[in-house]
Amino acid sequence: MGIVSTLELRGITKRFGTFTANDRIDLRVEAGQIHCILGENGAGKSTLMNVLYGLYRPDEGEILVDGEATRFASPRDAIAAGIGMVHQHFMLVPVFTVAENVALGYEPTRFGAFLDLDAARERVREFSTRFGFELDPDALVEDLPVGVQQRVEIVKALSRDARVLVFDEPSAVLTPQETDELMAIMKQLASEGTAILFITHKLREVRAVADVITVIRHGRVVGQADPQASSEELAALMVGRAVELTVAKDAAQTGEVGLCIRGLRHRNAAGVVVLDGIDLEVRRGEIVAIAGVQGNGQTELAAAVLGLLHGVEGEIELDGRSLVGRSVKHVLDAGVGYVPEDRSLDGVVKEFSIAENMVLDRSDRAPFGGALSLRLGEIRRFAEDARVEFDVRAPSIDALVGQLSGGNQQKVVLARELSRELRLLVAAQPTRGLDVGSIQFVHERIVAARDQGVPVLVISTELDEVVALADRIAVMYHGRIVDIVAPDASRERLGALMTGVTA
């Protein structure tokens, strides 16, 4: 099969049961072009790319390579046609070297039998020199920073003669500097004739590199956008209505310290220190946002505050009372609201109704019930009011949460946590999976909690969200808070801190 210069998708439809993830999608990408596929989480972008890459079979439609219809039964077929993919979650073997990962699956041989790692090393050096990657072929992947690991993925694809490169949400685990470097790499690849398909929901990145923008909403192409369009125009096309992208908030009116953390340490099951002497205060009436690349201790910090970690050293106090060693129920009863980063695992019970999920940890207390009975009328009134206020889109409060979209499940969690009397709000990835309009609403509610005097701890990997919400930003790196800065700190400064550079 020849190498791609033009790739076209016609009428691609992909269904999962009764759910249509892709609905008659048309798309064309040319050599030397950066074609951005823009859409919210759940819009069908990744499904479409998995069809293109041979991971899914389309139910309808066809893929044309240089005008000739073809079918990809597996990623091997797509790779043979010159299509490579850089996945959001890297497909690398951590204990292998760079050269071994590049060779994996397409191992060069000598005399037809012996693995030729020298050839793989030479390919790594060739592309490293060409693109300024500075990759050591013999370095172990697990020892490389995340941004460098992504370059290994790119070299792996290019070494198989990829002429179309698909980047699926590639900046999800990158610092701002690494993201800027990735944008520059994309431009260089395009300038040398590679066709780039760039899947993202981040407006800043689209406007930085796009030659063509296709917008997908609810599994359908809803239009093409001008690369010079404003973020507001792109957002409106994504969600189908005008939205406000800025967070309106007055200066914080701070009070006494609500949450006080001192010398917090924790080792995970493997004995690795994941919290390394955390000191942090959150005052009443302020939002402290934790910034950092995913995997630097943010998840463990939230879990420690909620009482979900055992073997924690140090002190966590809420209004002067220790939370260390207390049960999760005790922490919640103390007035802590918690929006977990994984709503499916920690936020909802999918087999329960919306109404039941709304009162999960309060059904034994007034006004919803007592030790031996539930007050179903009170539960239903509360749940219906919360459903309307938080725009949970469902036929009724009796609908099972597992039948809702991810965004609506998140709204159920937010409705439950923000509709109680709070002494502290911990919100981890609070807008994950939400459309731009819903994000605006959630941000308004978080700011409203702050303005009512609640100390708020926000943990987010979305730097724009951190900057928009925070009154102070604490940056975590390798289990430590390396600095606390004002929200007007430059992205360059924040990016440096996210890689541990403090000077």
Question: Secondary structure of 444-471 in the HEC alphabet?
Answer: HHHHHHHHCCCCEEEECCCHHHHHHHCC
Rounded to 5 degrees, what angle do the CA atoms 227, 233, 237 make?
95
Q: What pTM, to 2 d.p., does this model score?
A: 0.74
CATH 3.40.50.300 domain residues, the chain: 6-239, 257-335+421-498
Give the pairing type, strands 6-16 and 19-30: antiparallel
What secondary structure letter does DSSP report for 214?
Answer: E
pLDDT for 180: 87
pLDDT for 26: 95
Q: What is the pLDDT along the chain (503 residues), one digit of tens a residue?
A: 445 578 899 999 999 888 899 999 999 999 999 999 998 777 888 889 889 999 999 999 999 988 889 889 998 899 888 898 887 777 899 999 999 998 887 655 555 555 778 888 998 999 888 887 888 999 999 888 777 888 898 888 888 888 899 998 887 777 788 888 889 989 999 998 999 999 888 888 899 999 999 999 889 999 999 988 988 888 888 878 777 777 888 999 999 999 999 999 999 888 989 999 999 999 999 999 999 988 899 999 999 999 999 899 999 999 999 999 999 999 999 999 999 988 878 889 999 999 999 988 877 777 887 767 787 888 899 999 999 988 888 889 999 998 887 778 888 999 999 988 899 999 998 987 676 777 888 898 899 999 999 999 999 988 889 999 999 999 999 999 999 999 999 988 998 999 888 86
**Residues 54 and 77 sit within 8 Å (Cβ to Cβ):** yes
Rounded to 5 degrees, what angle do the CA atoms 290, 339, 346 make?
115
Q: Give which of 258, 265, 297 is closest to 457, Cα–Cα.
A: 258
Alpha helix (H) residue ranges in 132-200: 146-158, 176-191
Distance, in Å, from the CA atom of 482 to the CA atom of 438, rounded to the nearest integer, reads 32
How far, rounded to the nearest angstrom, does the alpha carbon of residue 444 sit from its chain's CA centroid?
Answer: 21
Task: List beta partners, residue 290.
Answer: 459, 474
pLDDT for 113: 54
**Residues 410 and 432 sit within 8 Å (Cβ to Cβ):** yes
Contacts of 490 (CB under 8 A, 6+ apart): none
**Residues 311 and 267 sit within 8 Å (Cβ to Cβ):** yes
Residue 47 sits at φ, ψ, to 5 deg, of -60, -45
**Residues 46 and 16 sit within 8 Å (Cβ to Cβ):** no
For domain 257-335+421-498, the CATH superfamily is P-loop containing nucleotide triphosphate hydrolases (3.40.50.300)
Task: List beta partners, residue 374.
Answer: 369
Q: What is the SS3 assignment for 271?
A: coil
Question: What residue ranges in 59-210 does DSSP mark as E strands?
Answer: 60-65, 68-70, 83-86, 109-110, 114-115, 164-168, 195-200
Distance, in Å, from the CA atom of 149 to the CA atom of 146, rounded to the nearest integer, reads 5
How far, rounded to the nearest angstrom, does the alpha carbon of residue 168 sit from its chain's CA centroid?
Answer: 12
pLDDT for 293: 84
**Residues 293 and 174 sit within 8 Å (Cβ to Cβ):** yes
Residue 193 tokens read as 């004739």
CATH number of 6-239: 3.40.50.300
pLDDT for 283: 97
Task: List beta partners, residue 197.
Answer: 35, 166
Q: Is the dihedral of CA 120, 124, 129, 131 positive or negative?
A: positive
